[in-house]
Structure formats: C-alpha cells, structure tokens
Amino acid sequence: MITTVSFAQKIKTGAENYTAYLPLLKGKTIGMVTNQTGIIDTKTHLVDFLVQKNIKIKTIFAPEHGFRGTADAGEHVSDEIDSKTGLSITSLYGKNNKPTPEQLKGIDIMVFDLQDVGTRLYTYVSTMHRIMEACAENNVPLIVLDRPNPNIGIVDGPVLDIAFKSGIGMHPTPLLHGMTLGEEAKMINGQKWLKDGIQCKLTVIPCLNYTRSMAYSLPVRPSPNLPNDQSINLYVSLCLFEGTNVSMGRGTEKQFQIYGSPYLPKSDFAFTPKPNFGDKDPLYNGVECNGEDLSAIPRINKLEIKWLIKAYQTTADKSKFFDKRKFSIRAGNEKLQQQIEAGISEQEIRNSWKEGLQDFKKMRKKYLIYREK
C-alpha cells in the first residue's frame, strides 16, 4: 500500500539532512560523486550548496550520462570543467570507471549523492561499488547521502547468477531489490562484495520522514530516457527488451512507456522512433513499430514479464528475437530466455524465482535503514 506524505511529514533526502554531514566536512578537502539529481529542496544543487558553505571540493566525479545528465545511455563521457563553479569534472563512465590513486590524492573524504531507481540494471549502483572499492584501497572515508527509492516496495525477479556479472549487474540481487543506495552500500560492505573482501569506511546519511510504504516522485529525471514516474516504474520490466529486437520507446517522448517493433503484428498502436534528447540514434530510426502503449496503465507492483512473453510469441521470426548475450546479462541468467522459448507459463517462471528471492530478503534484512510504515 502506498501512502501519501503531508507537508509536515515532507521526506528529506540525505543531502537535505545536512546537519548530519556538514560537521564531517568542515576543514576537509572532498571529492564528490554526483550529477543533476544531487539537489536540495528541488532547486539548489548540492555542489553549489557546499561551495556556499565554504566546503573545499577538489574534484567532481561524474557517472553515466555526465554531471549534467545529458549524455545518451552508453555514450562516452569526457572530463571537463563545470562552467558554474570552475571545478574539475572527472568522468567515471568509459575506460576510467573507477578513481585512480592519483585522482584520489589530496581528498580527505568522498561524498556520494546519486538518485537511483531501485534496479540492479541501473549503472549508478555499479558506480557506487567502484567508488567504495577505490576508497577502501586508498583509505578514503566515504559518505553516502541517501535518497528514496521510487520502487522501494518491489522485490522481484531472478537473482543474478554471478557468472553473468557486468556493469549492469555486479551483485547477486534480484532485478528489483527494494533498497536505497545507502542500504545497498551497507550490504556491499557487509557481504564483502568488494575486491578481495575489502571494506570501506562508510557513513550513510539517511533520509528523514521516510518509510518503505511511501510514494516518492523524483523532482529531476535521473537519466535522459526516464522522463516521469511512469517510465521509472516500468523501466526494468521494459529494459529486458534491450536484449531483444524490440524497441522500448527510445527516440520518442514515451521512453520506457511503450514497446514495439516492425516484426510485431499490426495493432491499434504504432510509433516511429526519431533522434531526440534521449537518443541520438534510436533503434528503428524512422521505421514504424507496432506494439503497445503502457503510458496510462496503473502503477505496477512487480517485475512484469507478460509483455516480453507476448512479444516473443507474436514476433514474425522467433529466431531473431533474442540477442543471447545482451539478454542474459540483463536477466542475470540464461534461464529466462530458455523458459520463454520453451513456452513455460508466466506463473511457472515466477515460481522459479521464489527460493532466490526468499534467500535475498532474509540476507538484506540486517542492512535495511527504513521501517515498513
């Protein structure tokens, strides 16, 4: 059940819980991992806030999509200078995905503030893992400023088989894990998932007035192709299509709210992808795609695989539907593709996840920060 939050109970993010972390930063030289989602009170960027508080920032480390969040998914992000503050920005997406000892030199404390969407496929958790590892190796304390998970009430999907570990899945968690990044940081440390079992000196600054039953609407899009609450809710269910020949709406104004391809049967809905802010060269650029519009459906509370199954069953040539490598690293195993190809029912597929989900929920309990209600 989702509850609404009154003004008096307004959720405060970790960044807005500044009385808890500003004393830790006074007189220190800090590094920051953040992007356009690192804001306070929906308008002030955390970097600007800290500069105003005379906190010395040496370097901003930027994840996928860059510091301002404008780069396409998977697009190389280069190093640069922030025009507003003059601070140097170091990209953590591309060849340099983990700070080097030289880049950490002179940094007393690292501050991490990114908005996640609650799925292992989103690359910000991988960025956090590498930051934790670099901090542990170079004896730099890490402060994670926590933010709500807009899909925190959903724990669902297959748990990653570590044989399929990648930048979009580094940990044995389900596709939807129902944790904040602060909780995940505690879990990564506690489970000793960093290289050689090392642990970093971690402080998580929690959100205030927040419980696991609260809805949370993101004030800023977390990446170019997640424009609204509907796309964030449907993201992981439709992201599995990235391992197939089906478009999930990149190159339209309804990214991750529609799906279709030229190989699906004609219906009462079609769309034609074209280059836009979210994708400069979308799949099926200029080609009409037949499919389904999900932009107005009620909020879902599970990993939804019925659209994937339906698309496979109705595609013109099933042998060309899956890209085995791309699909396996997104699903976290080879089994899901095999189950769909074998015609296994949706319920049977879900049943095959149960044991892994139960074990995961039991393991994660000790790392949870926020209560149920």
Residue 99: is its pLDDT beyond 60? yes
Does a structural domain hold residue 152?
A: yes
Which two tokens mark 361? 């929920």
Q: Residues 130, 274: one domain?
A: no
State the total domains in the chain.
2
> Are both 296 and 172 inside the same structural domain?
no
Task: Quote the pLDDT of residue 65.
Answer: 57
Decide the pairing of beta strands 88-91 and 80-81: antiparallel
178 lies in a domain? yes
3-class secondary-structure state, position 202: strand
Among the ranges given (61-65, 273-277, 313-317, 346-350), the one the predictor scored with the smallest mean pLDDT: 61-65
Clarify whether residues 264 and 208 are in a common domain. no
Is 190 among the domain residues?
A: yes
Residue located via tokens 């977390």: 222
Is residue 371 situated within a structural domain?
Answer: no
* Model pLDDT for residues 178-237, shown as the tens digit of each residue: 999 999 999 999 999 999 999 999 999 999 999 999 999 999 999 989 999 999 999 999
Q: Which pLDDT score is estimated for 356?
A: 98
CB-facing half-sphere around the CA of 93: CA atoms within 13 A: 23
The reply to whether 263 and 123 lie within a common domain is no
Answer yes or no: do 167 and 37 share one domain: yes
Same domain, 282 and 147: no
Q: What is the pLDDT of residues 264-287, one digit of tens each?
A: 999 999 999 999 988 999 999 999
Same domain, 188 and 243: no
Alpha-carbon distance values, 157 to 79, 98, 116, 337 (Å)? 36, 28, 18, 13
Q: What is the pLDDT of residue 1?
A: 33
| pLDDT value for 301 | 97
Which CATH number characterizes residue 190's domain? 3.40.50.12170
**Of 235, 275, 236, nearest in space to 255 by CA:** 235
Q: Which residue has the higher pLDDT, 70 or 91?
A: 91
What is the model's pLDDT at position 12? 97
pLDDT at 92: 86
Tell me which of 79 and 144 has the higher pLDDT.
Answer: 144
User: pLDDT at position 76, please?
Assistant: 47
User: What pLDDT, in 10s, does the model give residues 114-154?
Assistant: 999 999 999 999 999 999 999 999 999 999 999 999 999 99
Whether residues 250 and 204 fall in one domain: no
Q: Any idea which residue has 């690192």 for tokens?
A: 38
pLDDT at 372: 85
Q: Higher model confidence: residue 6 or residue 291?
A: 291
Looking up tokens 């926020």 gives: 370
| Same domain, residue pair 40 and 125 | yes
Phi then psi dihedrals of residue 214, to 5 deg: -90, 140
Can you give the pLDDT at residue 34? 94
What are the structure tokens assigned to 245, written together?
A: 């020949």
Residue 147 and residue 25 in one domain: yes
* Domain end (from 218, 250, 269): 218
- Residue 364 domain flag: no
Summarize the confidence of residues 28-34 as an average pLDDT: 97
Amino acid identity of residue 45, one-letter, is: H
Give the contacts of 160 (CB within 8 A, at least 6 positions apart). 120, 169, 171, 172, 173, 174, 332, 333
The reply to whether 369 falls in a domain is no
Distance between CA atoms of 172 and 364, rounded to whole angstroms? Answer: 11
What is the predicted pLDDT for the residue at 79?
58
Q: Looking at the domain assignment, is residue 348 inside a domain?
A: no
Look at 36 and 4; give whichever has higher pLDDT: 36
Supply the mean pLDDT for the chain: 93
Q: 162 and 54 in one domain?
A: yes
Amino acid at 331: A
Decide if pLDDT at 294 tops 60: yes
In 146-261, at which residue ranges do the beta strands (DSSP E only) sit? Answer: 156-159, 174-176, 202-205, 258-261
**CA–CA separation, 129 vs 79, rounded Å?**
21
b/e per residue, 161-170, with b = 16+ CB within 10 A?
beebeebbbb
Whole-number Cα distances in Å, 293 to 239, 267, 269, 327: 15, 11, 7, 22
Mean per-residue pLDDT for 27-34?
A: 97
Q: In what order do the strands lie in the sheet with 29-34?
A: 80-81, 88-91, 56-62, 29-34, 109-113, 142-145, 202-205
- Which 3-state string (H, E, C) describes 55-86? CEEEEEEECCCCCCCCCCCCCCCCCEECCCCC
User: Within this chain, do residues 32 and 113 fall inside the same structural domain, yes or no?
Assistant: yes
Q: Are 323 and 337 in contact (CB under 8 A)?
A: no
Per the structure, the complete domain to which residue 235 belongs is given by 229-342
Pairwise CA distance, residues 199 & 188, whole Å: 8
- The angle subtended at Cα 229 by Cα 267 and Cα 127, nearest 5°, is 110
Residue 347 is assigned to a structural domain of this protein: no
